[in-house]
Amino acid sequence: MTLGEASAGFLEHLKSTKRDERCEAATIAQTLELLNTFLPEATLEDLTRDRLRDFVARWYVEQTSHQPSPRDLLNSLDAFLNWVDVNAGCAIQGDCSAMIAELNDSLPRALEITATLSSQLGSGGAFGFPEFLTSFEEGGRSQYDFDVGGSAATLEGFFRIARIVGSSIEAEELISEETVFPVTFPAAAAVALEIGYIVNLELIRTGDGWQIVACGFAYPPGTAF
């Protein structure tokens, strides 16, 4: 069975229920539209835990409009997978239930970190250094510029949070595996951080530490790149 066929079947099932689930059905329809966009022409065999996690924790995060909301998306996905397990003889929902429960907490926080950090940077500070600004449209590829002493003066990439000390962060750049500390975060963004979250950043060296010049998205712990 294709993903499109299963999606249509589940929506028909919702229409046939006696309860008024129009709001829920609309949210589920929106979720399934996004899933089919992410996995066009997919079969149910393509709905692996890793692909579904990539759909939620990376693809959805990078969309400009997070509708439906993170928890509505995850609840809709869980309901669909449960229906698929029962009606298509699959075992997808059971394999994904722990992942969905984990993301119910970590996905909204990742979006909060992105919004807060972007807002804090956009209100002044680091965006006042246009010579350092870099587009993140190419997916956060690591980039180094070296100063006269041979040490990296700018650094761009995906950084996994390893340690939090007040508003200072120790982070590991995923491609180079280089650890940087201290990275100064705006206080409003730092309070939302937890160890393991991944943030797409561009940094410049300032004295003994690092300052954030620009940011991309924040992702839940365990997101693959």
pLDDT at residue 124, as a whole number: 41
Asked if residue 77 has pLDDT above 90, the reply is yes
pLDDT at residue 132, as a whole number: 37
pLDDT at residue 38, as a whole number: 97
pLDDT in tens, 159-213: 999 999 988 999 999 999 999 999 999 888 888 899 999 999 999 998 889 999 9
Asked if residue 41 has pLDDT above 80, the reply is yes
pLDDT in tens, 79-117: 999 999 888 878 888 889 899 999 999 999 999 999 999
pLDDT at residue 146, as a whole number: 44
pLDDT in tens, 115-157: 999 988 864 433 333 433 444 444 444 444 444 444 568 899 9
Which helix (H) or strand (E) segment holds residue 146: the answer is strand 143-146
Average pLDDT over residues 67-72: 94
State the Cα–Cα distance between residues 5 and 12, nearest whole angstrom. Answer: 11
* Residues 6+ positions from 44 with CB-CB distance below 8 Å: 1, 2, 3, 6, 84, 88, 90, 92
What would the two tokens of residue 95 be? 């394999």
State the Cα–Cα distance between residues 116 and 188, nearest whole angstrom. Answer: 7
Asked if residue 221 has pLDDT above 50, the reply is yes
Pairing verdict, β 209-219 and 179-184: parallel
pLDDT at residue 135, as a whole number: 41
**Letter string b/e over residues 28-39, b meaning 16 or more CB atoms within 10 A of that residue's CB:** bbebbebbbebb
Provide the β-strand partners of residue 170: 163
Helix axis angle for 92-122 and 70-87, nearest 10°, is: 170
